[in-house]
Amino acid sequence: MWKDLLTTGLEIMKMHGLGNDFVIIDSRGREPVTDAAFARAVGDRNRGVGFDQLAEIRFSNAADIDLDFWNADGTIAGACGNATRCVASLILDETGKSEVVIRTRRGLLEARRSKNGLVSVNMGIPQLSWREVPLAEDVDLQHLPIAGDPVAVGMGNPHCVFVVEDAETVDVATRGRAIEFDPLFPEATNVEFAQVRSRNDVRMRVWERGTGITLACGSGACATLVATHLRGLTDRAVSMQVDGGWLELDWQEDGVWMTGPTAHVFDASLTPSFLASI
């Protein structure tokens, strides 16, 4: 735990994928350091570093690495597509491999370098039963009994996807906050607002559970593709514009592949005095 580092400090790095920003901690060779209090302190954008999610790399017996995710409010995230792509970029560079496998709570995820330096990750087969999402009861996932007629999709995280006429005019903060803790979602939910501009062009904005509005959400982008395709509105491959830029999504037989840019912003060290203040 982080309390064992009070005399040495802790090395971290900051990365982002389309403005979806992460603190990355490499804990291979030691016990994991993150708990809820630590995640909240580091995630504080005024008194800590700030992030949408924290990703902690661990040694793996089953993959190239294990990867855990934490939200800014100290809760555990089951999946984080853009953070997975960011860490995959690091491991691809480190190992020199053309493909790497990362084990998360979502399962074993394959990642590879794509064209123009972009990174692709297979976020797995969508979870399309009410228990997998999960929901509190057995309802029609494509037409939830919630105002606005949203779709429920599981991608390691629960997602509630609204198809809207104009994503730019949606009050994401108000609506997202209201839906996040709807009783139908016992583990809370991410909330997406998707405007279908053509069968292969979607505009999406997102409220992430445990964090709030973010500039991009990888699992949310995957869930949005699945939801809009199941509604018959899009093909299985789309370009998706999020607040931070563009992602390419492709729902193949082995899962939903997501491709986009990554950026390594800086390396730093959390000081012993900061750690002692948690």
The residues annotated as belonging to the active site are 80, 217
Are the beta carbons of 214 and 221 closer than 8 angstroms? no
Please give the Cα distance from 158 to 161 (Å, whole number).
10
Tokens 């501009």 appear where?
Answer: 197
Listed in sequence order, the residues at least 6 apart from 256 whose beta carbon sits closer than 8 Å to its beta carbon are 122, 123, 124, 125, 126, 155, 222, 225, 226, 249, 250
Q: What are the backbone angles phi and psi of residue 171, rounded to the nearest 5°?
A: -80, 85
Are the beta carbons of 184 and 146 closer than 8 angstroms? yes
- Minimal CA–CA distance to 121: which of 258, 229, 5? 258
Q: What is the DSSP letter of 75?
A: P
Are the beta carbons of 187 and 156 closer than 8 angstroms? no
Tokens 């491999």 appear where?
Answer: 97
